[in-house]
């Protein structure tokens, strides 16, 4: 009788099959799976085969490798991103990770360098690459106009970076401020008392213009506009004195006041400002 050795070919010994199984497991556990879980699932696979499969998945960008307190975690990568990062190498992925972590405040290139320990030339190359792939964008900070911060392409930059409503394209919108200034003033002139919230900074400029005054009153919690039991009220006011006497004379506004004395080039007797003013 002839002995036939039949090798039991297990259905998922095929490397592709192993990978697919792992991916399915990752989908089942979107927060990540440890090596132990894979082992439990496919006990007949040798450790080496497992490692090969996992490495292939990682390099293809379909799995994320994370470290947790228990050990290593493998997580399914977002399919969209998985497609994007194909072709990028590990360094780029690292830089991208750092920028993603910075959220919508963005991160400066020097800080990226510190965090990744990569040399400057590398960083610049990577940043240029990522920008051309439309994964990140550079936003000019309003605080220091030469500084550029990088953030993910689809994020809205934070207020502190762009200056908020008053800036558009990093230029101070003075026209916009002026117009709002006038509008708020006209609005307040017709109303007797009103509480405002978001336009406090504009209202403060009206206060500094001397056209508006503010008082703080104690208000019940829950009334519109109250913060911590106070409410700010604004009303339009008149100046307390009319333009003072000194400015009604030409000397009050004269630009060459200090050079003027009797008998000199500029003197009260030959003052052209006075002559004009007298003819008025």
If the CB atoms of residues 123 and 236 are measured against other proteins, the closer one turns out to be 236
Name 64's bridge partners. Answer: 75
Q: Give dist(CA 197, CA 275) in Å, integer.
A: 51
Q: Give dist(CA 51, CA 63) in Å, integer.
A: 13
Locate all alpha helices (DSSP H) within the chain, ordered by sequence.
15-28, 35-41, 47-60, 79-84, 90-101, 109-116, 120-132, 159-162, 174-190, 200-208, 250-253, 272-279
Q: How far is the CB of 102 from other proteins (least distance, A)?
A: 24
Q: How far is the CB of 99 from other proteins (least distance, A)?
A: 28
Q: How far is the CB of 198 from other proteins (least distance, A)?
A: 14
Q: How far is the CB of 31 from other proteins (least distance, A)?
A: 44
What letter would DSSP give residue 84? H
Name the nearest CA neighbour of 188 among 233, 218, 224, 239. 233
If the CB atoms of residues 109 and 181 are measured against other proteins, the closer one turns out to be 181
If the CB atoms of residues 47 and 218 are measured against other proteins, the closer one turns out to be 218
If the CB atoms of residues 29 and 277 are measured against other proteins, the closer one turns out to be 277
Q: How far is the CB of 156 from other proteins (least distance, A)?
A: 22
If the CB atoms of residues 94 and 254 are measured against other proteins, the closer one turns out to be 254
Q: Give dist(CA 52, CA 1) in Å, integer.
A: 40
| Tokens, residue 53 | 């499969």
The answer to whether residues 208 and 188 touch, using CB atoms and an 8 Å cutoff, is: no
Backbone angles phi, psi at 255, to 5 degrees: -75, -20
Q: How far is the CB of 239 from other proteins (least distance, A)?
A: 7
Q: Which residues bind other proteins (CB under 8 A)?
A: 166, 172, 174, 177, 201-202, 204-205, 207-210, 213-215, 237-249, 251-253, 257, 260, 262, 267-269, 271, 274, 278
If the CB atoms of residues 4 and 241 are measured against other proteins, the closer one turns out to be 241
Q: Give dist(CA 197, CA 209) in Å, integer.
A: 19
Q: Give dist(CA 178, CA 214) in Å, integer.
A: 20
Q: How far is the CB of 200 from other proteins (least distance, A)?
A: 11
Residue 243: half-sphere exposure toward Cβ, Cα within 13 Å: 6
If the CB atoms of residues 98 and 271 are measured against other proteins, the closer one turns out to be 271
């Amino acid at each position: 009788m002839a002995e036939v050795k039949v090798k039991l070919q297990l259905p998922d010994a095929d490397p592709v099959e192993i990978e697919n199984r792992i991916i399915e497991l990752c989908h089942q556990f979107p927060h990540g799976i440890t090596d132990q879980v894979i082992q439990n699932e496919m006990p007949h696979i040798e450790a080496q085969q497992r490692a090969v499969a996992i490495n292939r998945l990682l390099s293809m960008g379909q799995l994320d490798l994370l470290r947790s307190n228990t050990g290593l975690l493998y997580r399914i990568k977002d399919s969209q991103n998985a497609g994007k990062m194909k072709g990028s190498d590990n360094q780029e992925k690292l830089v991208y990770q750092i920028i993603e972590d910075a959220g919508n405040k963005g991160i400066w290139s020097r800080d990226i360098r510190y965090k990744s320990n990569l040399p400057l030339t590398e960083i610049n190359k990577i940043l240029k690459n990522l920008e051309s792939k439309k994964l990140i964008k550079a936003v000019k900070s309003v605080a220091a106009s030469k500084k550029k911060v990088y953030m993910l392409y689809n994020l809205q930059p934070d207020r502190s970076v762009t200056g908020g409503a008053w800036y558009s394209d990093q230029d101070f919108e003075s026209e916009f401020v002026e117009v709002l200034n006038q509008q708020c003033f006209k609005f307040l002139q017709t109303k007797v008392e009103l509480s405002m919230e978001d336009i406090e900074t504009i209202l403060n400029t009206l206060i500094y213009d001397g056209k508006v005054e503010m008082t703080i009153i104690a208000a019940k919690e829950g009334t519109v506009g109250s913060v911590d039991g106070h409410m700010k009220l604004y009303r339009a006011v008149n100046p307390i004195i009319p333009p003072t006497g000194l400015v009604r004379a030409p000397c009050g506004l004269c630009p060459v006041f200090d050079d003027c004395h009797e008998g000199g080039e500029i003197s009260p007797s030959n003052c052209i400002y006075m002559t004009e003013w007298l003819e008025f």
